[in-house]
Structure 1
Amino acid sequence: MSAQITKAEVAQHKDDKSMYIIIDDGVYEIANFVNEHPGGAKILKRMAGKDATKQFWKYHSKGVMEKWGAKLKVGTLKEEAKL
């Protein structure tokens, strides 16, 4: 079972040591991937700690997620109570 991570926890991971992004319901650690990203590190650093779902699917195909998703995934987004 993968870790359940809240949006608040994701938001804390936005520096060079640890960068999390959310794509759909997955949480991904991208700090060690930023320099390999074909689009450059700048966009990943700008999205660190945030939900990048819309931006990811705008520029990537399902194949990219199949290639990299399992390698970078650290958990799933924890559902939070809706008041």
Structure 2
Amino acid sequence: MSKQFSTADVASHKDAESGMYIIIDENVYDVTGFVDEHPGGAKILKRVAGKDATKQFWKYHNESVLKKYSPKLKIGSVGEKAKL
């Protein structure tokens, strides 16, 4: 079973020192080691670190990108629904 994170847990991981986590479709990804490899540049990932990046992700990527990188970057899921 994958690890459960709260949105507050993810929000506390927004820089290189604490690790950089993002949420995409309620799944949590650790992009700390991927920042420098990101084809769109590190600045984009740094801007969404600690946040739900679902909207931004799907604007520029398709399902195949998620399938390619999920095994390496996915570390769990959000255990609570985001409050609107």
TM-score by length of 2: 0.92
Instruction: Name the structure 2 match of 1:32.
Output: 33
Tell me whether 1:16 sits opposite 2:26 in the alignment: no
Unaligned runs of 5+ in 2: none
Bigger strand share:
2
1:70 Cα shift?
Answer: 1.7
1:23 Cα shift?
Answer: 0.1
Question: Do 2:22 and 2:29's aligned partners in 1 also have CA atoms closer than 8 Å?
Answer: yes
Q: Percent identity?
A: 63
Unaligned runs of 5+ in 1: none
Partners of 2:36 and 2:81 in 1: CA distance: 33
Q: CA RMSD in A?
A: 1.4
Q: Which runs of 4+ in 1 moved over 2 A?
A: none
Partners of 2:14 and 2:27 in 1: CA distance: 16
Instruction: Tell me the SS of whatever aligns to 2:52.
Output: coil
State the AA in 2 paired with 1:41.
A
